[in-house]
Structure 1
Amino acid sequence: MRNDYGLEMKFCQLGEAVKVTGGTVIEGYASFFGLADQGNDVVLKGAYGRSLKRLAEKGGRVKMLWQHDPAQPIGIWDEVREDDRGLFVKGRILPDVEKGREAVALIASGAIDGLSIGYRTVQAEKDAKGRRLLHELELWEVSLVTFPMLPEARVGAKGDEPGADGLRELAAALEDARRMLADR
């Protein structure tokens, strides 16, 4: 998916390792290496390295946004790094920001369980299976979102609420329907 700024976006559910503490600190994986998402893209290990290095050299940060809206920053990513599993993020949702308060409440209730990256593709190729292998990405932002694109990850924030699996299935069905309508 692309936005008005030409950025691509990848959605990933907050993983099992995601934790929300004190109502505002969030940590976990925004992207996993080697897994094909619903768009048939696979992020390869090392894809974010150069981008993160350039940001650090400039004193810049990956932005924390609400639903990829650049007019709605909701917090600060204090740590963004690659490890063997993927792109690890840790930051603080700002409760003094209206959407930040909403995000905290929605995460706590299980209504929001997704992270999504906003990036530009620097280097990619198609493999024999037709998947797009993403070798290098320019990472701009990590957003809290409603509909994640990588189903292998699970919410780990404040425990799963009873009935959350049914809500995830409904959300997946709605996302499939939205995608079918967009392809028309």
Structure 2
Amino acid sequence: MKHKNKGIQHKQFAFKTDVVNEDGTFTGYGSVFGNIDSYKEIVAPGAFKESIAAIKASGDPLPALWNHRPYEPIGGYDILQEDSHGLRVEGWLLVNQIPRAAEVHALMKRRVVKGLSIGYYVLEDSWNEKTGVRTLIKLDLQEISPVTFAANVEAQIESVKSILAQGNLPTLSQFEDFLRESGYSKSQATIIASKGLKELLSRSESGGKNSDALSVLQNFKLSI
């Protein structure tokens, strides 16, 4: 299946950098091959091949953003290469020019920030109907973000927005995160998701129209 998704997607990995230098440079892996993640997706070897070639041809570094925030670049990546393990990267943070980069660098050295998350478009994928696993065959790499591993709400929110744009329904947890990012409290988000989205998901599974459900979600307002 070949297509380009409407919205950028994110995939997060724990990483152990080989080196985090005082000048802000570091090496590690932005993605690994062969493991099935919680979304039942797997990145295939070669998925970044064409994207890496295009980035090299451009002569520009791949951006390093903080937690996928497009308005908060903190550095970049000069070396991107696939090996048998995954996407190996050599990056740098502008520790002397950007205060946030210096903060992230300090947190990386102390292993507080210990995640890398890739931002990408899916160009080609395949599905195994028997196992339900989706294989990402070709990706258009846009950026790689250092993130606070296992707590990257912003990436989850962007994923929900992407899902909505594609005409699909988010999971309950994705929608709860979306609501909390929009300003609702944890208890409010839980109530809305459990009493609203749960019913819509059931309706969709029983043959209801996704377009009707999405209309409700996209225009949902609550006063508590």
**Which AA in structure 1 matches 2:120?**
Y
Quickly say closer, same or farther: Cα 1:148–1:28, change in 2 above 3 A.
Answer: farther
Residue of structure 2 in register with 1:130 after alignment: 132
Counterpart Cα distance in 2 of 1:53 and 1:108: 30
Q: Which 4+ stretches in 1 moved above 6 angstroms?
A: none
CA distance in 2, matches of 1:82, 1:28: 12
Which structure shows the bigger proportion of residues in helix conformation?
2
Distance (Å, rounded) in 2 between the aligned partners of 1:182 and 1:44:
29
Alignment partner, residue 25 of structure 1: 25
Q: Structure 2 unaligned runs (5+)?
A: 1-5, 152-171, 179-192, 194-224
Bigger radius of gyration: 2
| Shift, 1:72, TM fit | 0.9
Secondary structure of residue in 2 paired with 1:52: helix
- 2:209 corresponds in structure 1 to none
Distance across 2 between alignment mates of 1:110 and 1:58: 33
Which residue pairs with 1:170 in the alignment? none
Residue 27 of structure 1: CA displacement? 0.5
The TM-score normalised by the length of structure 2 is 0.62
Number of aligned residues = 152
Structure 2 Cα separation of the partners of residues 65 and 110 of structure 1? 18
Which consecutive residues of structure 1, in runs of 5 or more, have no partner in the other structure?
A: 150-176
Higher normalized contact order (CA 8 Å, seq sep 6+, divided by chain length): 1
Question: Does the residue aligned with 2:70 lie in a helix, a strand or coil?
Answer: strand
For residues 148 and 61 of structure 1, what CA distance do their matches in structure 2 show? 27
Q: For residue 181 of structure 1, what is the amino acid of its counterpart?
A: E
1:105 shift after superposition: 1.6
How far, CA to CA, are the matches of 1:112 and 1:87 in structure 2?
19
Kindly indicate which of the two structures has a greater share of residues assigned to strand. Answer: 1
Q: How does 1:67-106 map to 2 (within 5 A)?
A: 67-95=67-95, 96-106=97-107
* 2:41 counterpart residue number: 41
Report the 3-state secondary structure (helix = DSSP H, G, I; strand = E; otherwise coil) of the residue aligned with 1:119: strand
Task: Give the secondary structure class of the aligned counterpart of 2:60.
Answer: coil
Q: Contact 1:63–1:73 at 8 Å: present in 2 too?
A: yes
Of 171, 176, 182 in structure 2, the residue corresponding to residue 181 of structure 1 is: 176
Distance 1:122 1:148 in 2: 26
Note if contact 1:124-1:133 (Cα within 8 Å) is conserved in structure 2.
yes
Read off the aligned partner of 1:139 and give its amino acid letter.
L
Query: What is the DSSP-based 3-state SS (H/G/I as helix, E as strand, rest coil) of the residue aligned with 1:71?
Result: coil
Native 8 Å contact 1:66 1:72 kept in 2: yes
**1:135-146 matched pairs, under 5 angstroms:** 135-146=137-148
Moved more, 114-123 or 78-87: 78-87
Inter-partner Cα distance in structure 1 for 2:150 and 2:33: 16
